[in-house]
Chains A and B, each alone.
Chain A
Amino acid sequence: MPNPKRRHSKTRGRKRRTHYKATAPAASECPNCHTAKLPHRVCPNCGYYNGRSIIVPKNS
């Protein structure tokens, strides 16, 4: 089995990982209650989608 010839430094690994970045989830505005929500999802705040009440949120 091939193996690494030399250990590499913490810096080297960390430098490589500077390109590992989390991206923020896309957000869209609920046309009914104007809070931010995930696109193409029923609004978790008011339970509306496409102008229609789909679910009744637990907190309301």
Chain B
Amino acid sequence: MRHRKSGRKLKRTASHRRATLNALATALLRHKRIHTTVAKAKETRMVVEKMITRAKNARKADASAAKVGASSERAKKFIEAGGHARREVARFIKDRAVVAELFDVIAERVANRPGGYTRILKLGQRYGDAAEMAVIELVDFNAGQEPVAKKADKPAKKSAPKKKAPKKAKGDAAKAEATAPAEATAPAAQ
């Protein structure tokens, strides 16, 4: 019986499930907004929220360490980079650029948000297997109520861009930042 056991199996073995969720979490942190099924979105939320909190707390530790004064230059550098938390998150997020993005950009942006970093919006059923689909996005990277147009609905699929990730990731992140303001003005057109 699965009484009081949280989490969905997603019809996968433990390792397959871990791989799926790692991929989804990486994609979400990289693109800030992905399109998937509601079940996977909710599982991804469980994983990603904890990672973001981890990164955020590491930043706080960084600030207090600066106050106390770390024992050596090396120790200071380690703490500033996120310390042990960064290594632990890197066990799940295999893309270094995405880990850097999480600790340097995302953790800072969400600093004042007490949890609830993600938003899930239901889209209705998919043609084919009638699975309920959803968009999951990082709240602080997808402006609140202002209209934000989306470049069609072809965001990263769950297992998607593993191959081109390491090289392109940095560019992607920069691009996402760059296109965000442009998108804000776009909805008037459609």
Contact = CB atoms under 8 A, between A and B. Distances in A.
Interface of A: 38, 40-42, 44, 47, 49-56, 58, 60
A51 B147 CA distance: 7
Given A51-B145, A52-B147, A55-B135, A44 B153 contact: no
B18 interface: no
B96 interface: no
Interface residues of B, number: 17
A42 B150 contact: no
B146 to A, nearest CB: 7
Interface string B1-28: 0000000000000000000000000000
A53 B153 contact: no
A42 B88 CA distance: 36
B121 A54 contact: yes
B145 A53 contact: no
B72 interface: no
Contacts of A49: 121
Contacts of A42: 121-124, 135
Interface in B170-190: 187, 190
A47 B147 CA distance: 11
Nearest to A46: B190
B124 A41 contact: yes
B152 A56 contact: yes
Contact of B145 (A44, A52, A55): A52
